[in-house]
Structure formats: C-alpha cells, structure tokens
Amino acid sequence: MSLRERDDELVDAELVDDRELALVAAPRLLVDHDTVLYPGQELPTAANGPTYSEQDLYVSDETAAILQDTDPTDTGPMRAFKAWCAQQDRVPVPCTTATYTEYSRHLMARGLKVSTIKNYMSQIKTAMPPGKKPDNSLYLRLLENYRKNNKRALRVRRAFPLTLPYLIPMMEKAEEDGRPAGWRDAALFAFGYRFLGRSIEDADLEIEDLTFTDSGVLVWLPEDKTHDEEQNLVLLDRPDLQLVPRLTRWLDYMASQGITSGPVFRHVLRGGKVATAETRAKTAKVRGLHLRGHTVNERVKHWFAAAGLVTDGRHVSSQGVRAGAATDLAQAGATDDELERAGRWRPGSQVPRTVYVRPAQAERNDPFNKVPVYSIARDDDERGG
C-alpha cells in the first residue's frame, strides 16, 4: 500500500476521543445512594460480581415441594382477593398499588372490623413476590378514615367463654356414643382448656411433645404466638377435667393402630381409622395430618349444640375454650400476672386485665349488690299494709 493510500485511509477513519473509548469499554458501575466506600477503594462495577450458572438458579425437588405446599398465595384472604380481581379484571399477583388500595376499600364497604381488614391486607401484601409488594400508604389513609367514621368497626366481638359448666357437658356428650372421634374431641377440649391454648396451638401438638407425670402432663412447646423460645409447661390434672384419662384413652387408641408419633389430634376416617400419611397424602397439603383450625372450630360448635347448650347471644367458636379457662381463672380471683403467664400472653398485654380480670372484679364488687332486692310483699310489710 502506498503512502498516499495510507493517508486516505486515515482521513476516512472515524476519530474517537480516548476518554470516549474508555467510557464505552468500562464495565457498568454498581452504585446507588446507599453505596459507601472507604478511601482508596475503587468504584464497584459489574465486572466485580460473580458469574452465575444454571446451578445457582435452581432449588432441589425437596425444597420446591415444601415451598409449593406452603404457598403464601393459597390462603383464605388470598383466594378471596384473587376472586375479586377476576371479577374486576385486575391482576392479583403481583398486584399494583392501585389494585391493593381498591381492594381495601372493598373490604371496608363490607363493614368488616378494622382488625380483620388489617389482617387480610397484611396477608395479601406478604404473598406478593419479593421486590413487587404494593405500597400500603394509601390503604392506611383509607383505613384511618374508616376507623374514624365507623366506630363499631373497632369493636372486638369476643367468643362465648366455654367455662367448665359448659365444657364438661360437651366432653361428656362427645364420649356418650363411644366413637373414636368423640374420644379425640373430648381429649382436645380438656387439653385446650387446661393448656389455655389457641386452637392452632392445640392442633399443632405432637405426641413427642407430651410426657405424663403422676399428677398431670408435661408439655414441650417449641414456640407460640408471643414467645420464640421453647417452653416446658406443667399441666396438673383436675377431677372434673380428667385431662390425663381422656388424653391417654385417645393416645392408646391411636397406638392400637400403630400410631405412636406425630400429630396428636388427627382426622378420624369412616370406620374409626385414624388418618396417616398414606390416607391423607392426597387431601392434606398445607396442614398435613394436623387438624385445621376451622375443623377444631366446627367440632366445638357441633358438641355445644349436641349438648343442648345456649349462649347469651355471643358466638360459639374454638376460641371459647381458651376464653372459658381465662374466665374461670379470673372469677376465681387470679391476678393479672397469673392469668398472663397461664395464657402465655405477651408481657404487659392488656387482654388478661381488660377482658377477664377487671370484668370479674367488677361483677364481684358491683356496688348495687349492697342494695336489697325489692319485693312488693316486703314493701307492704314496711308500710304496715
């Protein structure tokens, strides 16, 4: 090539500034407003990061099975949310902030309690994929307005307390016909009362968690709603409750079918066979062999009605077993601290004081108890009639 040709080639070439070339070739910077560097450190770039392969992206079959069985989008609130989104032609997962906000107003239009709305909206937000959760600031503004204009929505409707005069007839009725399901339910009610447990805690009980003693049952509790640490609870039996005989009868019945570990309170199939992993594999996905909370609730309602009992207008539910035990303790003079420990409420919780202890004290100390009961005959005697 001649010198002239080389000169022409240089003239036709695109001239690029060295700084522009360096900028084009430089890896992408990985910095944002939270980046903090020490003196002498270089700016982090994409070139500093790891190189991922397919192996870094997949989970095992075992992990996938667990995650699928604990799908946060398969809850009652999420199913209702998906149904509403289908009617409104909206995308449920991941939902937009507008959809999330509008659904909260839908719940408020139904007149639900504030605590119920907060619970539903929290579950829906939790179910959304990481990094795609809706902003809840607008929903909270609507909720505050709802709270101010609907005072009754703040009212907490307490379950009817199933105190011993109610619970014992229920257990006796459950045992009356000698069916295994009745034995299970009687044991469940006796345990729930003495354990002062939430229904889901009762249903989560495992055979391995129980140790029988001369005077009662020792329960190992790995955690509960208000305690992350394990607890060892001593439940002393009572002649009226018959906790140990009722639990023992149910456990012996399961042992006769080869069941000596796993959930205590299980489904009983037709013919009296107790559910096992093989019989429940196709139907129990989330709770497995454990009774579901709504099942416990239905059993309480069933035996309450079967025993011919009536309430004062409050609703009957599984929470009533816990409420009944707390009510009995409060009426017997238990202190705030004693009730708090017995029911494992959060330290400083106002529930034992305001719901159980103070009403019981007010009933005992009602000043109108000092006023004699008026009768017409007595009034005539005092007037000499």
Residue-number span of the structural domain to which 178 is assigned: 164-362
pTM higher than 0.75: no
Tell me which residue has tokens 């149904």: 83
Please report whether residue 232 resides in a domain: yes
What pLDDT shows up at residue 83?
Answer: 95
What pLDDT shows up at residue 80?
Answer: 94
pLDDT digits (tens, 9 = 90+) for 111-153: 888 888 999 999 999 999 989 999 999 999 999 999 888 876 6
How confident is the model over 271-278, as a mean pLDDT?
83
Q: Are 262 and 242 in contact (CB under 8 A)?
A: no
How confident is the model over 45-52, as a mean pLDDT?
78
More confident of the two residues 90 and 61: 90
CATH of the domain at 343: 1.10.443.10
260 and 307 fall within a common domain? yes
Please report whether residue 46 resides in a domain: no
Please report whether residue 127 resides in a domain: yes
118 and 196 fall within a common domain? no
Please report whether residue 43 resides in a domain: no
342 and 237 fall within a common domain? yes
What pLDDT shows up at residue 341?
Answer: 86
Residue partners of 12: CB distance under 8 A and separation at least 6? none
118 and 261 fall within a common domain? no
148 and 215 fall within a common domain? no
Q: Please check the confidence at residue 14 and state whether its pLDDT lies above 60.
A: no
Alpha-carbon dihedral sign for residues 359, 365, 368, 373: positive
Q: Please check the confidence at residue 10 and state whether its pLDDT lies above 50.
A: no
CA separation for the pair 137, 161 (Å, rounded): 37
What pLDDT shows up at residue 193?
Answer: 93
pLDDT digits (tens, 9 = 90+) for 168-222: 999 999 999 889 999 999 999 999 999 988 888 888 889 999 999 888 999 888 7
Looking at the structure of the chain, the number of domains it has is 2
**Residue where a domain terminates, one of 127, 154, 181:** 154
Work out the angle between the directed axes of helices 243-255 and 180-195 (0-180°, nearest 10). Answer: 140
pLDDT digits (tens, 9 = 90+) for 295-324: 899 999 999 999 999 988 888 989 889 888
Please report whether residue 249 resides in a domain: yes
179 and 150 fall within a common domain? no
CA separation for the pair 216, 209 (Å, rounded): 14
Please report whether residue 8 resides in a domain: no
Tokens coding 12: 């036709």
CATH of the domain at 93: 1.10.150.130
Comparing CA positions, the residue from 203, 309, 277, 194 lying closest to residue 241 is 194
